[in-house]
A and B are shown apart, each in its own frame.
Chain A
Amino acid sequence: EAVTSVGRHVMTSGSRWIGKSVKRVEDGRLLTGRGAFIDDHPPVANPFHAAIVRSPHAHARILGYDVAAALAMPGVVGVVTGEDVGKGTRPFPVGVTAPVHYYPAATDRARFVGEPVAVVVARDRYLAEDAAEAVVVHYEPLPAVVDPERALAPDAPVLHPAVGTNLAGHRRLVYGDPDRAFAEADVIIRERFTFPKYGSTPIETYGVIARWDPLDGVLTIWSNFMGPFIMHPLVSRVLGLPENRLRFVVPPDIGGSFGIKTSIYPYLALIGFTAMRLGVPVKWIEDRREHLLASSSGTDRVAYRELAARRDGTVLGMRFRWYDNVGGYIRSPEPGCSFRPTGNFVGPYRVQHLEVDASVVMTNKSLTGPNRGYACGHLYFETERMMDLLAERLGLDPVEVRRRNLIPPEAFPYRTPTGGLYDSGDYPKAFQLALDTARYEELRAEQARARAEGRYVGIGVALAVDPSVSNMGYVATALDPQFRAKPEYLPKSGAVESASLTVDPLGRVIAILGTTPQGQGHQTIVSQIVADELGLRPEDVTVVDEMDTFTRVWSISSGTYSSRFGSVGTSAVALAARKLKAKLLAYAAHLLEVPVSEVEWTEGGARRRSGRGPTYSIKDLAGRAHWNTQSLPEGMEPALHATAVFGFDVARAVDPEDRVNSSNTYGFIAEVMAVEVDPETAAVRILRYVTVHDAGTIINPMIVEGQIYGGALHGLGGALYEELRYDDDGQCLTATFMDYLVPTASEAPTIEIAHLASPSPLTTLGAKGLGESSSMTVPAVIANAVSDALAPLGVRITELPMTPDRLWRLIRDARRRTA
């Protein structure tokens, strides 16, 4: 069997559906071509179609536009230029204090290849693209810079004259006493790492449809956005619309996102503005070239790491110095690239002394934002490589070095030095489960035999704390404490989601959510939870999870990002169901003429605890309550409806010492991988890959494991194949899927999954998120495995992706050194 699943799924008492691999209700429509994705979605009759004119230059002053020829072409409605955007909108607020003026299109200067400079609207897309080719933009090319360290050199071209430097922001965070830890250390390890710029490239690209109603003053935008999140207020501000005049609607199906579709929001503003300006409904579907040139990706990073340890392997302190490359403008929620993992900077280790020196740099590359594993792939690649380097220096097994530093199970809930509150876990046990599942000792014996035969076989391990449900308060870590101390500064915190349930007169339930799933099966999971809470079958529950900011209950942090749903979304659903059940019990007590304390909820419905008298099924109660309101007890609100809004008490604003609980629930990942490297072709073959996850209560193992498979392959892509490459002039070299290599089934390894379940005390069902999962560990585990395989040659991986050419050069250079 290719896939094994061991361990135990914790179930809440009396659960019939939670913990079961219930087949997905989403699948029927998606398998038969009846999904409703944005490009299939006809919310507006006969929309006009937009094509976007984009900068061919990485850096250029815009001198003027010549749109007459385009306007004269057949079917063209109008052209909106960057100059129009500059005059008619306000710049997006950014997450730093530097005066970066980021508009939905280049206004006077283009700062990366692919930046929008004009929008052409025509009767259909073919005509719009014809006319887009006829738009002439006059540019004065400027020198470009793409490397984050070179961009900080005194002679580097400066992208934003108003900022005066390419440094968008810089913070030095100090926790504990790192200087002392380094002074007292027996060993100090130093290394430089680089992490590549890559994105998850969902197969469905961005899509936006906008309709402006000038009489109501309402702009409605349909899109495959995964917010509203903080981006609804941002777009509202850019367009100068009150928030209750800006309606975001998300169609039922989104074709993948993995964080990338949070960054669609500049296009919501751009297409919204275009619809307002031209007075027609406008539809824009991004093409793949546009997506690879100008949608979003994670940052490329240069990291300098230092680690101080005792001779016995105890890590005393760490220093991180980061240069995160956010491209031409710093776009919210950046600089989350540096600060999203603030609470889990130390990962699963007890280390107390830490210094983080984070520089966020602007260069002439495309913009960045959340990408699966947001900032954690970078973090753990560096930390887990450092742990291996420490093991090598001390002559210890990499497993042993980690064991000596793990946070022990009795320490939970555990407060990290950086302000994180790890809610639950048993890291040593989960690690052991991974080692046992992989049969680590046997793998080492096999490796020794392979090495004796001259084969390059290596074994890697990697551990990670898997944060879920971002507390949006972390973003303020980017601001100086002095700035945050000003009276006019407004602190930020929170992680909220809502759910509403209605029981119809036949006792079936409609659940309404404002989440924006992109393949995670929210409808299925909600039906399982509601069925368990109310004693129904999943098929008795209809789930509507289409976001509409005019009709859903939502707050600033709402949306489907940072692995939120499994934790905060499921909590809201369970709470709403419990509210509803409480009302049904109160009503039943009234009908039974007993105090509510004497009534219990059984599978069949409500009855007296003594078992005497009738049992009122949910169908009975619903029928009576709806058809005869006279039967309700005095003071009871008519109708059977409940809304719950769930938030976390532990989501607090960043404190004056830069400590913040940056996420709300924290899972754990332990991985073991064995690889063989062909020294002639530098091809990496995965022999064995085991991943253990502790995400608390598992609601649907099938869906959970699907997330793990997918997350692992994203990590593998970034580790071996995927990179948005640029030449020194800022031209993107990977603007097609011919050049940007996405793993196919032939590259995908067989994955052995095992689970441990340490329920979260903070969520209603004990569940934590795990959507990002192994995307954050695979770069680390495979880099460790490849380094171990090539240890006889002295090759140490410090740079990703490990493409064959890069790895081949390392092997060649190592052989020359040893020859």
Chain B
Amino acid sequence: MGELVTVRLTVNGTPREGRCEPRKLLVDFLREDLGLTGTHVGCEHGICGACTVLLDGQAARSCLMLAVQAEGSEIVTVEGLARNGQLHPLQEAFREHHGLQCGFCTPGMLMTILDFLRVNPDPTEAEIREGISAVLCRCTGYQGIVNAVKAAAPVLRQRGA
């Protein structure tokens, strides 16, 4: 067993710390050491996108980086989206437009879309499809997700303005 190191970071606005091996993946650290099982592991090689979190505001694959690399970072996971029992507008749009079935890719999909809409707040349908192509979903055929992003974009623009 390797030597343990302390990792300190901010998750969903709360300072957190844990001790783990330096080789531990960020996604395993979030799930196992911090108990945040909302972030899922789908491929462990950076393609499926289920493990996507926001790292200092940008979408990042938590299966492709080590926990120690996130030292001092601000991370937002799917658990950080709803506030005071109220779903985030993007979550609401997913529910309204059947943007999820099994829900396994959903956390990574939500985090990817939040970053995408931050960069491109008023996307065309083709841009939405390109934007979410970073995450694989095998249930929905993506149609409900595309519709949800279309519906959420103006709400988030208004919120941001």
Q: Which residues of A contact B (CB under 8 A)?
A: 2-3, 23-24, 26-35, 37, 39-40, 74-75, 126-127, 200-205, 253-256, 258, 285, 287-289, 518-521, 702-703, 705-706, 708-714, 736-738, 742, 744-746, 748, 750-751
Q: Which residue of B lies closest to A123 (CB)?
A: B1
* B143-161 interface code vs A (CB 8 A; 1 in, 0 out): 1111100000000000000
Interface size class of B (residues with CB under 8 A): 35 or more
* CB atoms of B103 and A35 under 8 A apart: yes
User: Quick one: given A37-B40, A255-B40, A745-B133, are A31 and B138 in contact (CB under 8 Å)?
Assistant: no
Check if B105 is an interface residue, CB within 8 A of chain A: yes
User: Quick one: given A127-B1, A736-B47, are A710 and B103 in contact (CB under 8 Å)?
Assistant: no
* CB atoms of A27 and B100 under 8 A apart: yes
Listed A/B pairs (19) with beta-carbon separation below 8 Å: A29-B103, A30-B102, A31-B81, A31-B106, A31-B110, A33-B77, A34-B38, A35-B103, A39-B37, A202-B138, A203-B104, A203-B136, A289-B45, A518-B102, A702-B98, A706-B141, A737-B43, A737-B136, A745-B129
Note all chain A residues with C-beta closer than 8 A to B39.
33
In the bound complex, what is the Cα–Cα distance between A285 and B31 (angstroms)? 14
Note all chain A residues with C-beta closer than 8 A to B87.
28, 31-32
- Distance in angstroms from A702 CB to nearest chain B CB is 5
* CB neighbors of A among B99-156 (8 A): 100-107, 110, 125, 128-130, 132-133, 136-147
User: Quick one: given A203-B136, A736-B45, are A31 and B142 in contact (CB under 8 Å)?
Assistant: no
- Distance in angstroms from B38 CB to nearest chain A CB is 2
Report which of B36, B37, B43, B143 forms a contact with A288, defined as CB distance below 8 A: B43
* CB atoms of B47 and A748 under 8 A apart: no
* CB atoms of B79 and A746 under 8 A apart: no
Note all chain A residues with C-beta closer than 8 A to B138.
200-203, 256, 258, 710, 713-714, 742
In the bound complex, what is the Cα–Cα distance between A521 and B39 (angstroms)? 21
* CB atoms of A706 and B139 under 8 A apart: yes
In the bound complex, what is the Cα–Cα distance between A200 and B101 (angstroms)? 15
Check if B19 is an interface residue, CB within 8 A of chain A: no
* CB atoms of B38 and A32 under 8 A apart: yes
* CB atoms of B106 and A253 under 8 A apart: no
Report which of B36, B98, B133 forms a contact with A33, defined as CB distance below 8 A: B36
* CB neighbors of A among B70-112 (8 A): 77-79, 81-82, 87, 91, 94-96, 98, 100-107, 110
Check if B21 is an interface residue, CB within 8 A of chain A: yes
* CB atoms of B141 and A39 under 8 A apart: no
User: Quick one: given A37-B104, A738-B45, A742-B136, are A31 and B37 in contact (CB under 8 Å)?
Assistant: no
In the bound complex, what is the Cα–Cα distance between A457 and B139 (angstroms)? 29
In the bound complex, what is the Cα–Cα distance between A157 and B96 (angstroms)? 56
Report which of A32, A204, A710 forms a contact with B78, defined as CB distance below 8 A: A32
In the bound complex, what is the Cα–Cα distance between A737 and B137 (angstroms)? 13
* CB atoms of A288 and B91 under 8 A apart: no
- Distance in angstroms from A733 CB to nearest chain B CB is 16
Q: Which residue of A lies closest to B49 (CB)?
A: A203
* CB atoms of A255 and B143 under 8 A apart: no
Note all chain B residues with C-beta closer than 8 A to A750.
143
Q: Which residue of A lies closest to B141 (CB)?
A: A709
Note all chain B residues with C-beta closer than 8 A to A520.
101
* B60-71 interface code vs A (CB 8 A; 1 in, 0 out): 000000000000
In the bound complex, what is the Cα–Cα distance between A75 and B78 (angstroms)? 33
Report which of B37, B42, B43, B146 forms a contact with A745, defined as CB distance below 8 A: B146
In the bound complex, what is the Cα–Cα distance between A253 and B102 (angstroms)? 7
In the bound complex, what is the Cα–Cα distance between A56 and B45 (angstroms)? 20
* CB atoms of A709 and B144 under 8 A apart: yes
* CB atoms of A288 and B44 under 8 A apart: yes
Check if B41 is an interface residue, CB within 8 A of chain A: yes
In the bound complex, what is the Cα–Cα distance between A503 and B157 (angstroms)? 46
In the bound complex, what is the Cα–Cα distance between A256 and B42 (angstroms)? 11
Check if B48 is an interface residue, CB within 8 A of chain A: yes
Note all chain A residues with C-beta closer than 8 A to B78.
31-33
Q: Given contacts A703-B98, A706-B144, A748-B143, could you give 16 more A-B pairs where the C-beta distance is less than 8 Å?
A: A2-B146, A29-B103, A30-B102, A31-B91, A32-B87, A37-B40, A37-B104, A203-B48, A203-B138, A204-B40, A253-B104, A255-B102, A256-B101, A256-B138, A737-B47, A745-B128
- Distance in angstroms from B159 CB to nearest chain A CB is 18
* CB atoms of B136 and A744 under 8 A apart: yes
Note all chain A residues with C-beta closer than 8 A to B136.
203, 737, 742, 744
Chain B interface mostly: loop
In the bound complex, what is the Cα–Cα distance between A270 and B107 (angstroms)? 31
In the bound complex, what is the Cα–Cα distance between A277 and B119 (angstroms)? 54
Q: Which residue of B lies closest to A41 (CB)?
A: B37
Q: Which residue of A lies closest to B106 (CB)?
A: A30
* CB atoms of B141 and A519 under 8 A apart: no
- Distance in angstroms from A3 CB to nearest chain B CB is 7
Note all chain B residues with C-beta closer than 8 A to A518.
102
Note all chain A residues with C-beta closer than 8 A to B1.
74-75, 127
Check if B23 is an interface residue, CB within 8 A of chain A: yes
- Distance in angstroms from B90 CB to nearest chain A CB is 9
Report which of B37, B103, B125 forms a contact with A519, defined as CB distance below 8 A: B103
Check if B50 is an interface residue, CB within 8 A of chain A: yes
* CB atoms of A202 and B104 under 8 A apart: yes
In the bound complex, what is the Cα–Cα distance between A126 and B20 (angstroms)? 12
Q: Which 8 A-B pairs have the closest CB atoms?
A: A33-B38, A30-B103, A255-B104, A709-B141, A519-B102, A519-B101, A737-B47, A744-B133
Check if B24 is an interface residue, CB within 8 A of chain A: yes
Note all chain B residues with C-beta closer than 8 A to A258.
138
Note all chain B residues with C-beta closer than 8 A to A75.
1
Q: Which residue of A lies closest to B25 (CB)?
A: A126
In the bound complex, what is the Cα–Cα distance between A40 and B79 (angstroms)? 14
Note all chain B residues with C-beta closer than 8 A to A742.
136, 138
Note all chain B residues with C-beta closer than 8 A to A745.
128-130, 132-133, 137, 142, 145-146
* CB atoms of B129 and A748 under 8 A apart: yes
* CB atoms of B139 and A519 under 8 A apart: yes
* CB atoms of A204 and B104 under 8 A apart: yes
In the bound complex, what is the Cα–Cα distance between A37 and B96 (angstroms)? 23
- Distance in angstroms from A652 CB to nearest chain B CB is 34
Q: Which residue of B lies closest to A753 (CB)?
A: B143
* CB atoms of A709 and B36 under 8 A apart: no
User: Quick one: given A254-B102, A738-B47, A745-B128, are A3 and B143 in contact (CB under 8 Å)?
Assistant: yes
- Most chain B Cβ neighbours within 10 Å, of A34, A256, A258: A256
In the bound complex, what is the Cα–Cα distance between A470 and B137 (angstroms)? 27
Note all chain A residues with C-beta closer than 8 A to B139.
256, 519, 706, 710
* CB atoms of B95 and A24 under 8 A apart: yes
Note all chain A residues with C-beta closer than 8 A to B106.
30-31
Report which of A33, A204, A705 forms a contact with B79, defined as CB distance below 8 A: A33
Report which of B77, B128, B140 forms a contact with A709, defined as CB distance below 8 A: B140
Q: Which residue of A lies closest to B103 (CB)?
A: A30
* CB atoms of A32 and B79 under 8 A apart: yes
Q: Which residue of A lies closest to B143 (CB)?
A: A709
* CB atoms of A32 and B42 under 8 A apart: no
* CB atoms of B95 and A710 under 8 A apart: no
User: Quick one: given A24-B98, A742-B136, A745-B132, are A2 and B103 in contact (CB under 8 Å)?
Assistant: no
Note all chain A residues with C-beta closer than 8 A to B44.
287-288
Note all chain A residues with C-beta closer than 8 A to B98.
24, 702-703, 705-706
Note all chain A residues with C-beta closer than 8 A to B40.
37, 39, 203-204, 255
* CB atoms of B45 and A746 under 8 A apart: no
Note all chain A residues with C-beta closer than 8 A to B47.
736-738
Note all chain B residues with C-beta closer than 8 A to A751.
141, 143
- Distance in angstroms from A95 CB to nearest chain B CB is 27
User: Quick one: given A203-B105, A737-B47, are A30 and B141 in contact (CB under 8 Å)?
Assistant: no
In the bound complex, what is the Cα–Cα distance between A39 and B39 (angstroms)? 11
User: Quick one: given A745-B128, A746-B129, A751-B143, are A203 and B42 in contact (CB under 8 Å)?
Assistant: yes
In the bound complex, what is the Cα–Cα distance between A516 and B21 (angstroms)? 37
Note all chain A residues with C-beta closer than 8 A to B100.
27, 30-31, 519
In the bound complex, what is the Cα–Cα distance between A37 and B42 (angstroms)? 12
Note all chain A residues with C-beta closer than 8 A to B103.
26-27, 29-31, 35, 253, 255, 519
In the bound complex, what is the Cα–Cα distance between A644 and B81 (angstroms)? 41
